[in-house]
């Protein structure tokens, strides 16, 4: 079984979105020990779509330690953050969009053009490559447009 030991952020209930960045650590992958630098190098070489799919699937399967006693449950998920610089003296505030992986293993709609599909699920904005996606919060199907 493959396991990637890198945290990208923490999504927790009921308090909302909390970011926690921790150091990665070495793990056995397919019977071989990969050092952090080798793991990072391998991940960096993946096309973006493949990278997001691998990390999203790993985070879905990962048990998360609840960070605070008042939190009942926590989830790890990927997010895209962006802001605008056009015509303003100061850039806009950062928008946080949660990345939703495709329901189907094979690409259908976007053919690798980026996270162009957008929708809402579980009270948050989701982005993804395909119109048929999986919500990273609840794991249920989500429709993106």
Confidence at residue 111, expressed as pLDDT on a 0 to 100 scale: 53
Calculate helix-pair angle for 36-45, 48-61, nearest 10 degrees: 130
Predicted local confidence at residue 65, as pLDDT: 86
- 5 occurs within a structural domain: no
Asked if residue 4 is part of any domain, the answer here is no
Q: What are phi and psi of 51, to 5 degrees?
A: -60, -50
Q: What is the pLDDT along the chain (145 residues), one digit of tens a residue?
A: 333 333 344 444 333 333 333 233 334 444 445 578 888 999 999 999 999 999 999 999 988 888 888 888 889 999 999 999 877 788 999 999 999 999 987 666 555 578 999 999 999 999 999 999 999 999 999 999 9
Task: State the pLDDT at residue 36.
Answer: 84
The answer as to whether 47 is a domain residue is: yes
Quote the pLDDT of residue 108: 61
Q: Per the domain annotation, does 42 fall within a domain?
A: yes
Asked whether residue 126 is assigned to any structural domain, the reply reads yes
Domain encompassing residue 86: 10-143
Q: Angle at CA 128, nearest 5°, toward 63 and 94? A: 85
Task: List, as one string, the DSSP characters of 50-67.
Answer: HHHHHHHHHHHH-----S
The answer to the question of residue 86 being in a domain is yes
Residue 71 lies in a domain: yes
DSSP three-state, residue 102: strand
Q: How many CB atoms lie within 10 A of CB 129?
A: 25
Number of domains in the chain: 1
Instruction: Give the pairing of strands 124-128 and 95-99.
Output: parallel
Q: What is the pTM of this model?
A: 0.69
**Would you say residue 3 lies in a domain?**
no
Q: State the distance between the two ends of the chain, measured CA to CA, in whole angstroms.
A: 34
């Amino acid at each position: 079984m493959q396991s990637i030991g890198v945290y990208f952020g923490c999504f927790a209930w009921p308090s909302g979105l909390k970011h926690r960045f921790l150091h990665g650590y070495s793990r056995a992958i397919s019977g071989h020990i990969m050092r952090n630098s080798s793991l990072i190098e391998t991940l960096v070489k993946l096309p973006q779509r493949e990278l997001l799919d691998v990390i999203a699937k790993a985070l879905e399967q990962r048990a998360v330690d609840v960070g605070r006693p008042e939190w009942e449950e926590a989830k790890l998920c990927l997010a895209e953050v962006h802001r605008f610089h056009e015509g303003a003296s100061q850039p806009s505030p950062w928008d946080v969009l949660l990345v939703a992986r495709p329901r189907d293993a094979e690409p259908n709609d976007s053919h690798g053009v980026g996270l162009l599909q957008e929708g809402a699920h579980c009270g948050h904005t989701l982005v993804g490559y395909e119109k048929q996606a999986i919500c990273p919060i609840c794991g249920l199907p989500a429709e993106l447009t």
